[in-house]
Amino acid sequence: MTAYLKLDHIDKNFIRGGTRAEVLKDVSLVIDKGEFVSIIGHSGCGKSTLLNLIAGLTSVSNGVVLLENKEVNAPGPERAVVFQNHSLLPWLTVYENVNLAVSKVFNGKKSRQERHDWVMANLDLVQMAHAKDKRPSEISGGMKQRVGIARALAMEPKILLLDEPFGALDALTRAHLQDAVMDIHARLGNTMIMITHDVDEAVLLSDRIIMMTNGPAARIGEVLDVAIARPRNRIELAADRTYLKCREAVLKFLYERHRFVEAAE
């Protein structure tokens, strides 16, 4: 059976000022269709670089990224990215920001009315249809991120890549958006890959957690299966034994890696 997404012995190096920096070394990973995977690790471990390789925003130095057995070597609408910074165009309305992506991907494939209906359907999905005529300066940070997610989903990507999408939000807004993403994942069955620094977020949302060693030349240190049934309720999970064991395993890994950094200083 062919892997849905496969990272096959990936290396990534950057050359800066004649100096070679080895960011990732021999990273191999297979991700199944419909899976929710989080990537966690200390700052500088190459998490965002790994996400950018999957997105096709940067090229591998060695190895290959394969999506449905086709090499990923450039950006494409089948891989949509949601960044921590919402990246909305400030002079466009909420509707126009989403419509820009829809028109780019579906021009010639959907009629104008179909494109309009599709924009509204995705705004409905993230509960932002009521704000369709507002500009980014007129809505909150959490609402901006909802629009960013709607724009990404409207492209009908095979993989949704989330680069610390809730990192700049307050705790309550973050919790609401986590619940929204869980609901979207349950309804659509998208393959989602998320970068996070938040252990509780990783355990709550993920089927698997990929724990990266410290850079330079970061690798996959451990992979944790989160064997918790869906749908998940954050209140109920607070006392769930499996949740607590997963949380402890990630914290232990990160703490051990932090000690290695301190010992090297």
Band of residue 257 on the pLDDT scale cut at 50, 70, 90: low
Predicted confidence (pLDDT) per residue in 68-126, tens digit: 999 999 999 899 999 877 789 999 999 999 999 999 999 889 999 999 999 999 999 88
- What are the tokens at 133? 């005529």
Q: What pLDDT score was predicted for residue 95?
A: 97
Predicted confidence (pLDDT) per residue in 161-184, tens digit: 999 888 878 888 889 889 989 999
Burial of 168 by CB count in 10 Å (0-12 exposed, 13-18 middle, 19+ buried)?
A: middle
Band of residue 256 on the pLDDT scale cut at 50, 70, 90: confident
- Answer whether residue 263 shows pLDDT above 50: no
Q: What pLDDT score was predicted for residue 261?
A: 46
Mean pLDDT of the chain, nearest integer? 91
Predicted confidence (pLDDT) per residue in 226-239, tens digit: 999 999 999 999 99
Between CA 43 and CA 45 the distance in angstroms is 6
Cα 209 off chain centre by:
12
Q: What percent of the chain has pLDDT over 90?
A: 74
Band of residue 262 on the pLDDT scale cut at 50, 70, 90: very low
Q: Which of 154, 81, 148 is nearest to 139 (CA)?
A: 148
Whose structure tokens read 């619940």? 179
The CATH T-level fold of domain 1-72+201-265 is Rossmann fold (3.40.50)
DSSP characters for 163-194? Answer: ESTTTTS-HHHHHHHHHHHHHHHHHH--EEEE
Residue 132 sits at φ, ψ, to 5 deg, of -60, -25
Residue 92 sits at φ, ψ, to 5 deg, of -105, 150
Say what the pTM is.
0.91
Q: What pLDDT score was predicted for residue 165?
A: 86
Strands 159-163 and 79-82: parallel
State the CB neighbour count (10 A cutoff) for residue 40.
Answer: 24
The full set of domain ranges for the chain reads 1-72+201-265
Q: What pLDDT score was predicted for residue 264?
A: 42
Predicted confidence (pLDDT) per residue in 3-27, tens digit: 899 999 999 998 887 888 899 999 9
Q: What pLDDT score was predicted for residue 259?
A: 57
Task: Yes or no: say if 254 and 211 are a contact pair by the CB < 8 Å rule.
Answer: yes
State the CB neighbour count (10 A cutoff) for residue 26.
Answer: 12
Between CA 91 and CA 171 the distance in angstroms is 28
Q: What letter does residue 107 receive in the DSSP assignment?
A: B
Stretch 245-255: mean pLDDT: 94
Between CA 155 and CA 158 the distance in angstroms is 9
Between CA 27 and CA 50 the distance in angstroms is 9
Strands 5-16 and 19-31: antiparallel
Buried b (16+ CB within 10 A) or exposed e, 69-105: eeebeeebebbbbbbbebebeeeebbbbbbbbbbeeb
